[in-house]
């Protein structure tokens, strides 16, 4: 069994943060941003757990990167009404994306290529 990547743990923590953001930032009333945070938080969390269970697989990292990119663009796509929630989405999305790509880079360096 391969060693788990710390980046996957980081993405799991970010997923939990994203899920609870509508409550922690007292903005659960903004339906679009709240529903997005709940759904994407759960999805990133599940895929991060998948990545932790299969540390040599690249597929979960690509999916996490995709959802990190989505989280980053959601303030524009969904027209967030709260600047604080927009900044949260930009920061969390960028961190998730960077950690996923970093994990992919580690995998590529260790195995000379990416496996699915």
| Residue 41 near residue 67 (C-beta atoms within 8 A) | no
Distance, in Å, from the CA atom of 107 to the CA atom of 62, rounded to the nearest integer, reads 12
- The reported pTM is 0.85
Going from the C-alpha of 37 to that of each of 60, 66, 67, 94, 111, the distances in angstroms are 19, 15, 11, 15, 34
pLDDT greater than 80 at residue 11: yes
Q: What is the pLDDT of residues 60-74, one digit of tens each?
A: 999 999 999 999 999
Q: Are 67 and 96 a contacting pair, CB within 8 Å?
A: yes
CA torsion 78-79-83-89 (nearest 10°) is 20
Q: What is the pLDDT of residues 87-102, one digit of tens each?
A: 999 999 999 999 999 9
Locate the domains of the chain by residue range: 6-110
């Amino acid at each position: 069994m391969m060693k788990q990547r710390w980046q996957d743990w980081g993405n799991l923590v970010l997923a939990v943060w994203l899920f609870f953001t509508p409550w922690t930032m007292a903005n659960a009333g903004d339906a679009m941003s709240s529903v997005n945070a709940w759904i994407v938080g759960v999805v990133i969390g599940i895929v991060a757990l998948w990545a932790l269970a299969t540390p040599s697989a690249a597929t979960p990292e690509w999916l996490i990167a995709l959802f990190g990119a989505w989280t980053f663009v959601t303030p524009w796509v969904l027209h967030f009404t709260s600047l604080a929630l927009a900044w949260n989405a930009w920061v969390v999305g960028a961190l998730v994306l960077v950690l996923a790509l970093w994990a992919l880079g580690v995998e590529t360096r260790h195995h000379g290529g990416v496996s699915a």
